[in-house]
Structure 1
């Protein structure tokens, strides 16, 4: 079990370092240049590969790279490409070549999203049902640790050594985190005889969508993280408006808040096993939704650092628990063979990635709307609307999936 968790922690940490750095640094840079909230909100189109990656997940399920394993091979290739494009960004003059930076950032998100497909497939194949609570806590924690490095540590480093050397360090870290993957020996079972390509491409999607309550579940995925993405996108511009420095934002949001998310994710992993997936989704989701309203405090003009720390730590702790519960529930929705727990999951990447993509679609839409809403209603109105979106997802869960929780007792 320990070796599984170490591998998953390394994989999920690595892919989040450069993308978190980009998505958190650039909005701050844009706001410091007095760019509008609308423009910052639309920067979320960079997350588009995460929303659309289900389109190429069947290829990763179907094909493998010779001599490198199956999903392991894809991870190695995409992580190296991610390190290369990150290294290249180090030599871009971001003030005079901003469009070039945006293109490179889009490529970084494309490679990271593609790597995530293979990583999720390995996670589904490795973890037994009774390991998924703690396994998804490690996944969530790995994501957050990567965000701490990319969105906190490197943000502070950026203040010290500048853009060029910060990006070079990130690319080297990406290569170092490949070591556990290179040491991992993937078991590649022989797949059944390949069917018609078009049939095999569409069949996993058809199978997933024809399951009971598939459409209500997809609605939950669109809404559940949408509120968090909406509020998170505007939080950094808000703190810039409140006069916080690059280092202060990096320490508060990139280190302290994310560190709390790791702890809360681990706590959630234990509680999910006792409460059940659906009960956890409802309880943690409701708590996180209500906590989002605390952001109204800085929106109303408060800039006292201890208060801002208390607010962001509280909100991030509860959001981390809700996110972990969602990941566990999503893994349960993947195709798992009944005959043997070690049997090969032929559509593991597609089943999980389809759900992740739907979550990302909701997140991209919410993030892009956040700037427009904040411009129209102010930060306070936007935070209220983001909380309402999250609460709506909890109501859908309660309406359509509560019976599952009751029957599981």
Structure 2
């Protein structure tokens, strides 16, 4: 079990380092250059590959790379490409070639999301049903640890050694996290199946049709759209808000990139233990409700409060509860996967989450411009709360966990 957790922690950490750096650092630079909140909100199109990756997930389920294993092979290739494009970004002059940087960032998100397809499928096959609570806590924790490195550590490093060396160090770090997966020997019987000879279109669409034909599939997809939508909406505007409150790059990096994310790791581990006791659905409802209410605390900096102790208290509280809600969601999503189509089933759900997130993030800029930061945070909390009501309505009574 311990070796499984180390492998998953390394993989989920690696894919979040560069993407978190790009999605969190660039908005700060943009706001410091007095760019509009609308423009910052539209930067969320970078996560479009994460929203659309279900389109190529059947190919990763169906095909394998020779001699590298099935999902293991895809992971190695995509992570190498991610490290290479990150290294290339180190030599881009941001001021002179911003458009080139945007293209490279898009490629980074494309490779990261593709690696995530294979990693999620590997996790579904690797973890036994009773291991999924703690396994998804490690997944959530790995995501957050990658965010700590990319959104906190590298942000602070950027303030000290500059863009070029920060990106080089980040790319080397991603190569180091490949070591556990290179040492890992994939179970071919579980994950390597030769594709059956069949009509291409039938084989492509079959897993999607199968997933959508399951009981309460559409209400579940609605939950996925809304559950993280509110969090992504508030998270997109939080950093520009802190820039407006006069916080420095290092202060934002420490508060949001290190302290708050560290809290999310701890809360994810706590949630992993509690989920096995409370059950998936009860955890989704309880943690989701708490996270929704906590989002309203962001109104405190929105109305002008800039005291660092107060801001730390607010961000720590909100991130702790959001981390627990996210872990519960990951566990529930994994339960709805078939082992033979793990990449497609899980990726379809993740894509729906990101589709909701992209829409919410883009709208967040427009809403903040129209209503102010405070109004936007209230609406983001309402979106998250709506998802909890849908869960209670359609799934709360039965609370049957599919494994």
Measure how far apart 1:353 and its partner are: 0.2
| Partner of residue 303, structure 1 | 306
Measure how far apart 1:188 and its partner are: 1.4
The question of 1:354 aligning with 2:309 is answered no
Could you tell me how far apart the structure 2 residues matched to 1:234 and 1:95 are?
23
**TM-score, normalised to structure 2's length?**
0.98
Measure how far apart 1:198 and its partner are: 1.2
Could you tell me how far apart the structure 2 residues matched to 1:147 and 1:407 are?
30
| Partner of residue 207, structure 1 | 210
| Partner of residue 399, structure 1 | 393
Could you tell me how far apart the structure 2 residues matched to 1:262 and 1:19 are?
18
The question of 1:265 aligning with 2:268 is answered yes
Larger displacement relative to structure 2 (126-135 or 194-203):
194-203
Structure 1 SS opposite 2:246: coil
| Partner of residue 158, structure 1 | 158
**TM-score, normalised to structure 1's length?**
0.97
Out of 191, 194, 200, the residue aligned to residue 193 of structure 2 is: 191
Could you tell me how far apart the structure 2 residues matched to 1:173 and 1:249 are?
22
Deviations 1:255-285, CA, capped at 9 Å, x for gaps: 0000000000000000000000000000000
| Partner of residue 58, structure 1 | 58
Measure how far apart 1:64 and its partner are: 0.6
Deviations 1:55-114, CA, capped at 9 Å, x for gaps: 000000011110000000000000000000000000000011110000000000000000
Matching of residues 115-154 of structure 1 within 5 Å:
115-154=115-154
Q: RMSD of the alignment, in Å?
A: 1.0
Measure how far apart 1:225 and its partner are: 0.1
Structure 2 SS opposite 1:149: helix
The question of 1:366 aligning with 2:360 is answered yes
Measure how far apart 1:196 and its partner are: 2.0
Could you tell me how far apart the structure 2 residues matched to 1:176 and 1:265 are?
24
Structure 2 gaps, min length 5: none
Measure how far apart 1:405 and its partner are: 2.0
Matching of residues 1-400 of structure 1 within 5 Å:
1-189=1-189, 191=193, 193-335=196-338, 345-400=339-394
Measure how far apart 1:406 and its partner are: 7.3
Could you tell me how far apart the structure 1 residues matched to 2:117 and 2:193 are?
19
- Answer whether contact 2:280 2:401 (CA < 8 A) is retained: no
Count of matched residue pairs: 399
Structure 1 gaps, min length 5: 336-344
Could you tell me how far apart the structure 1 residues matched to 2:351 and 2:378 are?
25
Measure how far apart 1:407 and its partner are: 8.8
Structure 1 SS opposite 2:193: coil
- Answer whether contact 2:89 2:167 (CA < 8 A) is retained: yes
- Answer whether contact 2:37 2:368 (CA < 8 A) is retained: yes
Measure how far apart 1:350 and its partner are: 0.2
Could you tell me how far apart the structure 2 residues matched to 1:404 and 1:58 are?
31
- Answer whether contact 2:264 2:319 (CA < 8 A) is retained: yes
| Partner of residue 339, structure 1 | none
- Answer whether contact 2:335 2:401 (CA < 8 A) is retained: no
Deviations 1:274-321, CA, capped at 9 Å, x for gaps: 000000000000000000000000000000000000000000000000
Structure 2 SS opposite 1:354: helix
